[in-house]
Amino acid sequence: MSDIEWWKKGVFYQIYPRSYMDKNGDGIGDLTGITDRLNYIAELGVDGIWISPFFQSPMKDFGYDVSDYRSIDPMFGSNGDFDILLQQAHDLDLKIIIDMVLSHTSIDHPWFAESRLAPDNRKGDWYVWADAKPDGSPPNNWQSIFGGPAWTFDTKRGQYYFHSFLKEQPDLNFHCEAVQKQMLSECEYWLERGVDGFRLDTANHYFHDQELRDNPPRDHSKISTGLQIDNVIPYTMQQHVYDKSRPENLSFLKKLRTLMDKYGDTMTLGEIGDDDPYKLSVEYTKGGDALHTTYNTHFIAGTNESELTPDKIKTPFEELAKHSTTCWPSWAFSNHDVVRSVSRWGKGIKNKKSLAILLNKLLLSLRGTPFIYQGEELGLPEAVIPYEQIQDPWGKYLWPEWQGRDGCRTPMPWNKESAAAGFSADMTDRKSPWLPIPTAHKKLAVNIQEADKNSVLNQTRNFLKKRKTMPALQTGDINFIDTNDDEILAFTRTLDKSEILCVFNISEKKKNFEGIELTSLNCHVEEV
């Protein structure tokens, strides 16, 4: 894919490296393991891979707390291992984008160690520091997404520091020009190594209000933050006017785009979590001088089992269209932070295999760049993790309302008969992988599905091949059709003179739509 909009036409496969393939036998996935499975990914029929963070980290948030942006954490391998992975992926015509966590670092980063020494040192303003109120309380009412106030008092410096997430993840101060310059340099390091782009974690969190004004309360009846929990936590009780999505954010994204454009056909995918993610997505992508596309959270929100309805699919497109009809979105039904789609949208449906196939075909038919999370091509359900085995700090905070993100992060099942389902066959330092592998997942292992032409894996592979023959399905416009049936979703994809009709029966009953017979949980995607 040599044209500059390859990222629009392509399909990405997301890898959570801790859980993909363990080659060194320590129970944790690694870069060599990903390299070992590149042929599998290429044969799936995707065009690129997004790899979640693998940088050096104390792993308080499993890699989203970076202590060195230019070094691979030893648990994943070495910089040389990444170079081999990148070269072999490119040899297979697979693009590689990596997860850049720019809004915050680990508390163990040398930058923070220097910053906390004194306000007037060389990096004294690299993080967001503020004095306590006269009564010793935090500077304002900002809340952490992971629970509690977004401020922690540091006794060495005698001030509070701001953290949108864990207290071990202090936010950088992007109002400091030296910070902006440094983070662009960290990105350039990986561009020089040959990566094809970045997935930008929390891309609207780079700037904060310098006056540190309190966030106003929000109307609880209208809470819709895109978070993965349905119950109200303090973070969701505020309108996030001052702690993120500040107007200065766009100026930094434009600087990053200028850098990206120096390296040819690269792309940026911004993760947007905001009170109005659609408006912000348009703001960050219009004009072609900031982000290329944004990762919208509508399809991945919620933890409770619910029903799949046409409105669930149409609503984000309708909301986006209120702000722009040209903005190019990116979509996923699952990722490393949320309940797997077949469990989240499977309420009342007994045939989870057919549902998984339908969901993959639906994702690949929508207008926008699709991201398939590892294991979705197998139809893996959400794993239930016993409390004593929970690793996720967010899950520990929210228990028992939600077990956190571990349920979607369990290791890939490669071979039903092998130890640890083929994920880590020769473990040396431990008796089991870092998270347990459910029996239900072993039954859906790759080796089982490859032998079954009707498996989720093979049906997904076949549809990906079909998609490559249909340009309208890749970059065409989308127009939803009123079916007068809340169990049938229909739309067209049009490009030039080509039109493709997409009809999805999202029930377990036989359906008829304008003469098209649809069996249970089946679809019709054909050119008309």
Q: What is the DSSP string of 133-147?
A: PTTS--SS--B-TTS
* Distances from the Cα of 64 to the Cα of 52, 56, 58, 59, 168, angstroms: 9, 10, 10, 7, 10
* Distances from the Cα of 111 to the Cα of 104, 127, 197, angstroms: 11, 9, 25
Q: What is the DSSP string of 455-486?
A: SHHHHHHHHHHHHHT-HHHHH-EEEEE--S-T
Question: Is 337 part of the annotated catalytic residue set?
Answer: no
For residue 28, the model assigns a pLDDT of 96
Helix (H, G, I), strand (E, B) or coil at 314: helix
Helix (H, G, I), strand (E, B) or coil at 409: coil
For residue 459, the model assigns a pLDDT of 98
Tokens 């978070």 correspond to 227
Distance of alpha carbon 195 from alpha carbon 140, whole angstroms: 40
Structure confidence at residue 302 as a pLDDT band (50, 70, 90)? confident
118, two tokens = 């004194």
> 271 and 236 in contact (C-beta within 8 Å)?
no
Write the pLDDT tens digit of every residue in 443-491.
999 999 999 999 999 999 999 999 999 999 999 999 999 999 999 999 9
Catalytic residue among 22, 30, 99, 271: 271
17, two tokens = 């490296």
For residue 488, give the nearest of 462, 460, 516 by alpha carbon. 516
For residue 348, give the nearest of 305, 299, 379 by alpha carbon. 305
Distance of CA 326 to the CA centre of its chain: 23
Question: Is 83 part of the annotated catalytic residue set?
Answer: no
Write the pLDDT tens digit of every residue in 14-36.
999 999 999 999 999 999 999 99
Sheet strands side by side (includes 498-505): 477-481, 488-495, 498-505, 523-527
> 514 and 486 in contact (C-beta within 8 Å)?
no
221, two tokens = 């009846």
Write the pLDDT tens digit of every residue in 269-287.
999 999 899 999 999 999 9
Higher per-residue confidence, 226 vs 57? 57
Q: At what angle do helices 310-321 and 277-285 cross, to 10 degrees?
A: 50
What percentage of the chain reaches a pLDDT higher than 70? 96
Among 160-164, 292-296, 310-314, the range scoring the smallest mean pLDDT is: 292-296
* H-helix or E-strand spanning residue 329: strand 329-331
Sequence-ordered alpha helix ranges (H) in 94-176? 110-115
Please compute the mean of the pLDDT values over residues 301-319 and round it to a whole number: 93
Which CATH superfamily is 6-103+177-465 part of?
Glycosidases (3.20.20.80)
Report strand pairing: 68-72 vs 55-56: antiparallel
* H-helix or E-strand spanning residue 153: strand 151-154
* pTM, rounded to two decimals: 0.96
Q: Which residues contact 222 (CB under 8 A, 6 or more apart)?
A: none
Distance of alpha carbon 450 from alpha carbon 445, whole angstroms: 9
For residue 225, the model assigns a pLDDT of 47
Q: Which residues contact 201 (CB under 8 A, 6 or more apart)?
A: 53, 64, 99, 100, 101, 102, 103, 271
Catalytic residue among 61, 65, 201, 382: 201
CB atoms within 10 A of CB 454: 11
Residue ranges matching CATH 2.60.40.1180 in the chain: 476-527
Beta-bridged to residue 335, according to DSSP, are: none
Residue 376 carries which side chain, given as an amino acid letter? E
CATH match for 476-527 among 1.25.40.10, 3.10.20.600, 3.20.20.70, 2.60.40.1180: 2.60.40.1180
Write the pLDDT tens digit of every residue in 136-193.
999 999 999 999 999 999 999 999 999 999 999 999 999 999 999 999 999 999 999 9
* Distances from the Cα of 15 to the Cα of 96, 273, 491, angstroms: 11, 21, 30
Residue ranges matching CATH 3.20.20.80 in the chain: 6-103+177-465
* Distances from the Cα of 297 to the Cα of 161, 271, 294, 374, 385, angstroms: 28, 8, 10, 18, 24
Please compute the mean of the pLDDT values over residues 66-95 and round it to a whole number: 98
DSSP-assigned letter for residue 508:
S
Provide φ and ψ at 87, rounded to 5°. -65, -45
Residue 516 carries which side chain, given as an amino acid letter? I
Structure confidence at residue 304 as a pLDDT band (50, 70, 90)? confident
Write the pLDDT tens digit of every residue in 495-528.
999 999 999 999 999 999 999 999 999 999 999 9
- Average pLDDT of the chain? 95
